[in-house]
Amino acid sequence: MSLSLAELRSRRGALVERARAERAEVAGIVASQRTLLSVADSAVTAVRFCLQNKHLILVGTVAFAIVQPRRTFRWAFKAVSLYRLVRKLRRYLRA
């Protein structure tokens, strides 16, 4: 079952060429999706920033509440409703 050195070199060469072709294919796919990936990366960065700076979210919410109080109450009602729905779904999915 042991392969000769020449067979191993040949097999290695074929595998290296296959890996080179697969890398080129992946690079082409990534290049075609670069805009989408950059938007997703920016969104992830923004979410991480918000999670690390929760006080800024509070300041923004208070400023929004001062500028447009009616809209704030509508959004708060929707947020509470959504929160309750998510809690119910979690409870049902755990059971």
Q: Could you report the per-residue pLDDT of 36-69, keeping only the tens digit for each?
A: 889 999 999 998 998 899 898 889 888 988 999 8
Q: What is d(CA 7, CA 29) in angstroms, rounded to the nearest whole number?
A: 33
Q: What is d(CA 63, CA 53) in angstroms, rounded to the nearest whole number?
A: 16
Please name the amino acid found at residue 3. L
Q: What is d(CA 1, CA 24) in angstroms, rounded to the nearest whole number?
A: 33
pLDDT at 1: 53
Q: Could you report the per-residue pLDDT of 17-35, keeping only the tens digit for each?
A: 999 999 999 999 988 888 8
**Contact (CB, 8 A) for 57 and 50:** yes
